[in-house]
Structure 1
Amino acid sequence: MTSAVVVGSGPNGLAAALTLAAEGVSVRVVEAADTLGGGTRSSELTLPGLLHDECSGFHPLLLGSAFAERFDLTGAGLTYRWADAEFAHPLDGGRGATLWRSVEETAAALGRDGTAWRRVFGPLTERFDAIGEEFLQPMLHVPRHPVSLARFGARAAMPVSALGRAWRTPQARALFGGAAAHALRPFGGVLSSAIGVALTTAAHAYGWPVAEGGSAAIRDAVLARAAEHGVTFETGREVTTIDELGPVDLVMLDTSPRAALRIAGRRMPRHVRAAYRRFRHGPGAFKVDFAVAEGVPWTHEQSRHAGTVHLGGGFEEMAATERQVNAGRMPERPFVLVGQQYLADEARSANGVHPLYTYAHVPAGYTGDATEAIVRQIERFAPGFRDRVQDTHVRSATGMAVHNPNYVGGDILTGANDPAQLVFRPRAGLDPYATGAPGVYLCSAATPPGAGAHGMCGYNAARSALRALR
């Protein structure tokens, strides 16, 4: 029987393990941490009874993905929940904008910018099943839906600063800018709109759901399927070299390229080693989880109903902030993402106190404390928030890297989203998962399609390995 070892048990490592095991491969997963799941762990970080997601909190690209469909994760216990609104963007003075699942409802609320919003996102939403199938693969492939992909690509290729000119009102521009800021890239770069367009369209097509019971429920659903196929697990063991794994046919590395070099670099061709050394990481995230009595008192009323709230001020302010962070400077008012998962999944709260998930964009490897900057940004749009905080849990950018070694310098995206790496991550080649070492594959979020709990990096890498075996 063919044997495989998966190093790392994040959503991609688990997806790779399950995909291989379902094809008859004997699979063992080795994890350095004491718990499985990587970016899909959840725990009581603040007060007892309050459930917080430790990294990934919203899952628009898991729903409908080839991996989730192939293994029927909902049949294995995964349940999706949605807040009333997908995301909101408050502005000063109680103004703001909200993205609803419906393109029409969102456009109607945007007033004179509604027609432009409908023109950009209406056709993409109608074709999102086909578009998602295309961009959840490596960039270099023969498309099955070339027209839909070209329509998406025409928007995605634009700088955020250029596509943002499609709208004139501060509300519409901020609504798109907040989604685009997820890329952690300057707004003026080519292809900087790609992630914003994908996430906004996904919000209209699928919403931004949470997993009932926390993101760990995704891990648990995959583990349930893995158990059906005999996958075994070992936790608390760090792999430092491939030789430790013994004789095995396949090795799947759910690691950063830097860690892959440490583990198997001496077996890789020189050009692959060089490419992995050149792999670039992006800015970091500074995460603070709050226990908040009665929720956040947003002055923008609709933000009280949105699963995600983006705090960054207007479009130009966000553009300046992302420029600073990418230049290695900590802004006074950082971009802050706020997750209100409890609006969709009420069981995460207890006794009128709610778990609030936040992180700020900070420079790579930032060693300072951004807690107060996050609180000030929330207070800016929700006066009185500070008085409702009952407890906090802080994980700095450097702490992120300790918690999950794939997050180098606090980079929760596992790689900078600059144009070259959006197209050729982690290196240029027809098979981005192959390391050049026989039987060794990289399957982390450093490979296409990138960050998220969708598992598609591991699924694609495993399929690549299976094709090579055949």
Structure 2
Amino acid sequence: MGKYDYDVVIVGSGSNGLAAAIYLQSKGLKTIVVEKESMLGGATKTTELTLPGYKHDVGAAVLPMAYSSPFFQQLPLEDFGLEWIYPEIPFAQTLGNSNNFGAVACYQDIDKTAAQLGADESTYRKFMRTRIEDWPLVSNDILAPIKIPENPLQFLDFGRSAILSARTFTRLKFKTEESKVLFYGAAAHSTLPLNSTASASFGLVLMIMAHLNGWPFPKSGAGQIIEALAKYYIHVGGEVKVNSAIEDFNQIPNSKVQVFDLTPKQLLTIKSLPLSALYQKRLSNFKYGAGIFKMDWALRAPVPFKNKILRKAGTVHIGFSSSEIENSEKIVNQGKLPGTPYVLLVQPSVFDHSRTPDSGHTVWAYCHVPNGNTQDCTKIIESQIERAAPGFGKLILKRHLMNTRQLEEFDANLVGGDINGGKQDITQLFTRPVAKLSPYKTSNNNIYICSSSTPPGGGVHGMAGFNAAKQVLKDHF
């Protein structure tokens, strides 16, 4: 070790920070994770928000990218307590007005999904089968910074669709409203207007994940994946220090390299930060995207969806037509609140009975809002749910609300309520946080960034941490 106490210090303990720490520690380096909170995990935590014994995911809830993460798949996380729950239907989408209570589902089975899509049945089946077959050939490149792809033909084939806006993709590919609204529900996870370049990529990846693995989530809450990662990290010799905010660079334990699981805003608040003025200026220009207003409920019974398909889905996208979803996302990105927002709802306790101590249920949902907006969206969210599930309000035992300010107080990386670590439009999709050959490197050869503000962006997958750690190993060890 020589003059250093540690080879690498990782600041921040989200999935990316822990992934970086695990990879570097497993390569024989001496590492420590420093976390300002008392619990590890960043935005991936499970706790009691409503009633005693009712376990709610404060941040991330459904983790299809974690399950399919090329790095996490290398780790024996099941040996450290991680157990996956597989909903009967990965996700479903409301369809039509409240008079017909329609729905369309994305089943894990491609044929079963396609059978709902009328004139698009053959098109959807053929297109998605190709995407599934090609995924192992393109996923490593999609989940990494720009580079020469390992399989150029398959990568370009995927890219031809992914680079399109969700609106253009659906107009070119599909004829039926069922197909369009199902795809829009997945693409809207991007928080982008659905006419934005590359917004189709989010829908494509998430639908591929649904057909590949079924959008599972950890038993007893998303926080269990953090617990398993932390246990494994300690098992391989890593160290953890909690309740240790880094407000000055000189507070960081003596080390050769520092890796930050922080977005640009938090990084720039650290005093004595040895980064060039030009690089700090470039970081300060980093753009954050739309935020969310997030709600959790304790219910006396499951959500009373009129359509049985919705009752069997782990995740329900609420928006009653493709035009309603598109308009909702457009209005949010114009800085306003929609009257009928796109709502993303998760009902884990239907499939995971460990979430409550009795016959009650937990439900998690959010709608998109302008970044930093603190208006109470309870009424518009619950009104949307009531359209698909009349009587929902009568089942509420207790609710918990988090606006964008409260989300950022919970986890400083959620700047203005942005859950993706920064806007993921075409200008920042591949060049986050700044345009560099290696986006994880900063102006200081010993300082790296590994948060969701680096490729491949938001989600619980650890790939930004893994990619950054590989760069650290290549550069220094």
The TM-score, its normalising length taken from structure 1, stands at: 0.97
**Cross-structure match for 1:107:** 114
Secondary structure at the aligned position of 2:159 is classed as: helix
Residue 49 of structure 1 contacts residue 349 of structure 1 at CA under 8 Å; is this kept in 2? Answer: yes
Q: Which runs of 5+ in 2 are unaligned?
A: none
**Of 61, 67, 72, which residue of structure 2 is paired with 1:63?**
67
**Cross-structure match for 1:131:** 138
CA distance change for structure 1 residues 25 and 298 in 2, over 3 Å: closer, same or farther? same
Q: Partner letter of residue 145 of structure 1?
A: N
Give per-residue Cα distances to partners, 1:363-402, cap 9 Å, x unaligned.
1101111111111110011110000111111111111111
**Of 243, 263, 268, which residue of structure 1 is paired with 2:275?**
268
**Of 440, 453, 461, which residue of structure 1 is paired with 2:468?**
461
Q: Partner letter of residue 59 of structure 2?
A: C
Give per-residue Cα distances to partners, 1:327-366, cap 9 Å, x unaligned.
1101111111000122332221332211101111111101
Residue 155 of structure 1 contacts residue 163 of structure 1 at CA under 8 Å; is this kept in 2? Answer: yes
**Cross-structure match for 2:77:** 73
| Percent of paired sites with the same residue | 34
CA distance change for structure 1 residues 469 and 400 in 2, over 3 Å: closer, same or farther? same
Alignment of 1:400-439 (within 5 A): 400-439=407-446
Alignment of 1:319-398 (within 5 A): 319-398=326-405
**Cross-structure match for 1:278:** 285
CA–CA separation in structure 2 for the residues paired with 1:147 and 1:204: 22
The TM-score, its normalising length taken from structure 2, stands at: 0.95
Secondary structure at the aligned position of 1:89 is classed as: strand
**Cross-structure match for 1:3:** 7
CA–CA separation in structure 1 for the residues paired with 2:275 and 2:197: 32
CA–CA separation in structure 1 for the residues paired with 2:262 and 2:28: 24
Alignment of 1:90-169 (within 5 A): 90-91=94-95, 92=97, 93-138=100-145, 140-165=146-171, 166-169=173-176
Residue-pair matches, total: 469
Secondary structure at the aligned position of 1:357 is classed as: strand
Give per-residue Cα distances to partners, 1:35-57, cap 9 Å, x unaligned.
11112210121122221111111
Q: Which runs of 5+ in 1 are unaligned?
A: none
Q: Partner letter of residue 152 of structure 1?
A: F
Secondary structure at the aligned position of 1:360 is classed as: strand
CA–CA separation in structure 1 for the residues paired with 2:402 and 2:21: 29
Secondary structure at the aligned position of 1:38 is classed as: coil
Is residue 20 of structure 1 aligned with residue 27 of structure 2? no
CA–CA separation in structure 2 for the residues paired with 1:58 and 1:340: 10
Deviation at 1:65, TM superposition (A): 2.0
Residue 157 of structure 1 contacts residue 193 of structure 1 at CA under 8 Å; is this kept in 2? Answer: yes
Is residue 52 of structure 1 aligned with residue 23 of structure 2? no
Residue 61 of structure 2 contacts residue 346 of structure 2 at CA under 8 Å; is this kept in 1? Answer: yes
Residue 65 of structure 1 contacts residue 133 of structure 1 at CA under 8 Å; is this kept in 2? Answer: no
Is residue 83 of structure 1 aligned with residue 90 of structure 2? no
Is residue 35 of structure 1 aligned with residue 39 of structure 2? yes
Residue 94 of structure 2 contacts residue 104 of structure 2 at CA under 8 Å; is this kept in 1? Answer: yes
CA–CA separation in structure 1 for the residues paired with 2:128 and 2:349: 28
Deviation at 1:213, TM superposition (A): 1.8
CA–CA separation in structure 1 for the residues paired with 2:446 and 2:284: 21
CA–CA separation in structure 1 for the residues paired with 2:56 and 2:222: 9
Secondary structure at the aligned position of 1:63 is classed as: helix
CA–CA separation in structure 2 for the residues paired with 1:397 and 1:218: 25
Q: Which moved more, 1:356-365 or 1:255-264?
A: 255-264
CA–CA separation in structure 1 for the residues paired with 2:300 and 2:309: 19
Deviation at 1:266, TM superposition (A): 4.3
Deviation at 1:246, TM superposition (A): 4.4
**Of 241, 245, 254, which residue of structure 1 is paired with 2:248?**
241
Residue 184 of structure 2 contacts residue 322 of structure 2 at CA under 8 Å; is this kept in 1? Answer: yes
CA–CA separation in structure 1 for the residues paired with 2:148 and 2:433: 19
Deviation at 1:66, TM superposition (A): 2.3
